[in-house]
C-alpha cells in the first residue's frame, strides 16, 4: 500500500486507475464490469409510495423519466407461486442475506438472493424495509389509514393543509390504488371470527372500532372463498405478497400506468450508490446493476436535470447524509438526516380466553382508535395470523406519536450511514398502549398481552430524515439545490398521527408533484 494514504483512498485510486486503463470498465469487488453512461431528463430513485406517484405524474406530463429500483419485479404467476409462504420462508423472503430478515419468521439459512425484505440494523432501533418494484407496497399488510384532522395538525406543519389533503390528494390515492373495505357479509363469515371479535370487544368497552380500507381487490378475495382460486389473503398470507394477485400493490396501478405513458422506464435491480451535483448543472446518479444473486454486472452512471429521491426514509436519508459528508452535495443544510421517528410502532399479541380461529382470515381489515386515551392517542390494527393451529391470540400493531427523534450520521471509518434512536423515544406512546389494552380487556374475553418488541425494537414505518420545512421546503424541494426533490416518507417528521404511513406518503407525494410540475417544469 502506498505510504501516507488510507486504505479507502488506496482502493479509490486503484479503481480509478483500472477504470482509466480499461476505458469503460469498473472494478466491482475483484471483477471488472462495464460502465454504462446514460442521460435522462428525470431520475426517480425508488418505486415505493413516493416514487410511484412521481413516476406516474412525470410520465403524464411527458417528462422522459427513469426509475431506479434496487429490487426485482414480482409478477403474479399462473402457478400462484410468486411469493414464499409466511410459515415456510425461503431465499425469496430476504434481501441479499443468508438468513431470514422479516421478524417473527422461522430462522432459515439459504443462499443470497434479491428477495423481498431487508432488516436495517440501527443503534436502538432496527427498520424493516421492502425491496421490490413497488417498494414496500409488495410486502405490507395493505392496511390504509389516514389521520384525523386534529391529529394531523399535531404532527404536520400548518403549511400543509389537511383540507386540501382530504379533498384532493387522499381521494386520488384511493381511486388509483382501488382501496376498499371488507363487506359486512364477509366479516360475518366464520373465517373472519378474529377480526369480528376485535370490533365486538371495542364496542363492549366503549372504544372506537371500525372497518378500515385495504389495498386489496375484494372480488379476488371472494374468489378465494368460492374456491375458484388458491387461497392467500383468507389464510393470513398478507405480508409477503399475495400469490393470487389480490393485493393492489403499486406495480399493479401507479407504476403500470406510469409505464403505459411511454415516457417512463423502470430499471429493476439497480442499487444507487452515489448522487452528486454537476458543475454545469444537473446531477450524476451512480448505481450498481446486479443480478438476482447480488453480483454486480455493470456500473450505471446517469446524468439528469431533475432528481427525485424516493428510496424511503432510510434509503433517501442515507444517500443525502453520505453525499453531504463526502462533499458530493455540499450545500445540503444541517437538518439532513434529522427528525427521524418510528411512527410509534409497537407490536403486541393479545391473548383471549376464547378461540380466535386458525388460520385467521385477512387481509387486516379492522382497527381500534383510542385517540382520547388520557396518556396519549393510539391506534391498534389487528393483523390476522397465518398459523394453522389455534392460538387464542390476536396480533395487534399499535401506533402512536413518538416524543423524541432519532437521526442518521455518517461513519467515515466504514463509509456507511447509521441510524440512532433514543431508548425512550416512544415511551409515552407505549404506556398509552398498555392503558388501552387494560380498557379493551375489561369485561371481555381478553386476558393479557405479550410485548413482541420487548427484546427487539424494530419498526415497519420509518419516517423522517429530510423533513418538510427543515431539509426541504413544504413541497419537497431540497434546500440548497435546484431541481432536486424528496417525495417519500423522509419528508415526514417521525409520525403520521397514529396511522400507517402509506396513504399519507402517497397523498403527500401527489401534493408535491402537483406543485413541482406546475412551477418547476
- Catalytic residue annotation: 381, 461
Give the CA angle between residues 92, 98, 102 to the nearest 5°. 55
Calpha distance 89→263 (Å, rounded): 37
CB-CB contact of 386 with 240 (8 Å): no
Helix (H) or strand (E) holding 323: helix 312-325
With b for 16 or more beta-carbon neighbours within 10 A and e for fewer, the 116-148 pattern comes to bbbbbebeebbbbbbbbbbbbbbbbbbbbbbbb
Q: CA 60, 65, 69 angle in degrees (round to 5)?
A: 115
Q: Closest Cα to residue 18, out of 2, 35, 1?
A: 35
Q: Measured between alpha carbons, how far is residue 406 from residues 93, 179, 338, 413, 418 in Å? A: 28, 32, 7, 21, 11
Q: Which three cell numbers stand for residue 438?
A: 387494560
What is the rounded CA–CA span in Å between residue 218 and residue 184?
12
How is residue 458 written as a grid cell? 424494530
CA distances to 209, 336, 349 from 44, rounded to whole Å, are 39, 19, 38
Amino acid at each position: 500500500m502506498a505510504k501516507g494514504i488510507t486504505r479507502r483512498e488506496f482502493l479509490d485510486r486503484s479503481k480509478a486507475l483500472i477504470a482509466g486503463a480499461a476505458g469503460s470498465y469498473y472494478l466491482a469487488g475483484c471483477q471488472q464490469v462495464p460502465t454504462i453512461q446514460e442521460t435522462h431528463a428525470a431520475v426517480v430513485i425508488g418505486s415505493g409510495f413516493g416514487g410511484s406517484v412521481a413516476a406516474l405524474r412525470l410520465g403524464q406530463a411527458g417528462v422522459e423519466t427513469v426509475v431506479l429500483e434496487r429490487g426485482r419485479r414480482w409478477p403474479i404467476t399462473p402457478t400462484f407461486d410468486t411469493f414464499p409462504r409466511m410459515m415456510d420462508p425461503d431465499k425469496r423472503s430476504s434481501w441479499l442475506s443468508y438468513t431470514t430478515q422479516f421478524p417473527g419468521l422461522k430462522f432459515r439459512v439459504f443462499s443470497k438472493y434479491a428477495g423481498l425484505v431487508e432488516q436495517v440494523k440501527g443503534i436502538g432501533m432496527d427498520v424493516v424495509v421492502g425491496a421490490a418494484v413497488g417498494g414496500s407496497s409488495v410486502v405490507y399488510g395493505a392496511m390504509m389509514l389516514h389521520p384525523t384532522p386534529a391529529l394531523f395538525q399535531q404532527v404536520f406543519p400548518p403549511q400543509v393543509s389537511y383540507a386540501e389533503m382530504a379533498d384532493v390528494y387522499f381521494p386520488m390515492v384511493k381511486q388509483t390504488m382501488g382501496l376498499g373495505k371488507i363487506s359486512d357479509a364477509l366479516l360475518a363469515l366464520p373465517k373472519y371470527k378474529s377480526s369480528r371479535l376485535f370490533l365486538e370487544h371495542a364496542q363492549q368497552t366503549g372504544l372506537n372500532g371500525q372497518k378500515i380500507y385495504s389495498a386489496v381487490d375484494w372480488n379476488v378475495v371472494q374468489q378465494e372463498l368460492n374456491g375458484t382460486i388458491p387461497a392467500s389473503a383468507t389464510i393470513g398470507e398478507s405480508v409477503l405478497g399475495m400469490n393470487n394477485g389480490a393485493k393492489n400493490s403499486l406495480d399493479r396501478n401507479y407504476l403500470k400506468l406510469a409505464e403505459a405513458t411511454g415516457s417512463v422506464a423502470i430499471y429493476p435491480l439497480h442499487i444507487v450508490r452515489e448522487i452528486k451535483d454537476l458543475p454545469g448543472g444537473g446531477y450524476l446518479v451512480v448505481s450498481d446493476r446486479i443480478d438476482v444473486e447480488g453480483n454486480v454486472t455493470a456500473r450505471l452512471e446517469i446524468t439528469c436535470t431533475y432528481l427525485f429521491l424516493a428510496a424511503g426514509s432510510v434509503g433517501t436519508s442515507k444517500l443525502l447524509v453520505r453525499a453531504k459528508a463526502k462533499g458530493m452535495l455540499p450545500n445540503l443544510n444541517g437538518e439532513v438526516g434529522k427528525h427521524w421517528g418510528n411512527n410509534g410502532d409497537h407490536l403486541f399479541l393479545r391473548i383471549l380466553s376464547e378461540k380466535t380461529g386458525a388460520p385467521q382470515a385477512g387481509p387486516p381489515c379492522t382497527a381500534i382508535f383510542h385517540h382520547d386515551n388520557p396518556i396519549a392517542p393510539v391506534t391498534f390494527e389487528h393483523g390476522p395470523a397465518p398459523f394453522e393451529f389455534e392460538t387464542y391470540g390476536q396480533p395487534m400493531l399499535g401506533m402512536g406519536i413518538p416524543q423524541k427523534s432519532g437521526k442518521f450520521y455518517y461513519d467515515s471509518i466504514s463509509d456507511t450511514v447509521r441510524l440512532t434512536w433514543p431508548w425512550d423515544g416512544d415511551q409515552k406512546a407505549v404506556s398509552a398502549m398498555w392503558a388501552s389494552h387494560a380498557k379493551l380487556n375489561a369485561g371481555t374475553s381478553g386476558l393479557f398481552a405479550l410485548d413482541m418488541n420487548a427484546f427487539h425494537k424494530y419498526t415497519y414505518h420509518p419516517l423522517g430524515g429530510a423533513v418538510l420545512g427543515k431539509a426541504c421546503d413544504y413541497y419537497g424541494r431540497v434546500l440548497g439545490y435546484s431541481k432536486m426533490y424528496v417525495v417519500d416518507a423522509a419528508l415526514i417528521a417521525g409520525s403520521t398521527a397514529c396511522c400507517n404511513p402509506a396513504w399519507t406518503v402517497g397523498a403527500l407525494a401527489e401534493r408535491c408533484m402537483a406543485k413541482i410540475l406546475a412551477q418547476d417544469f
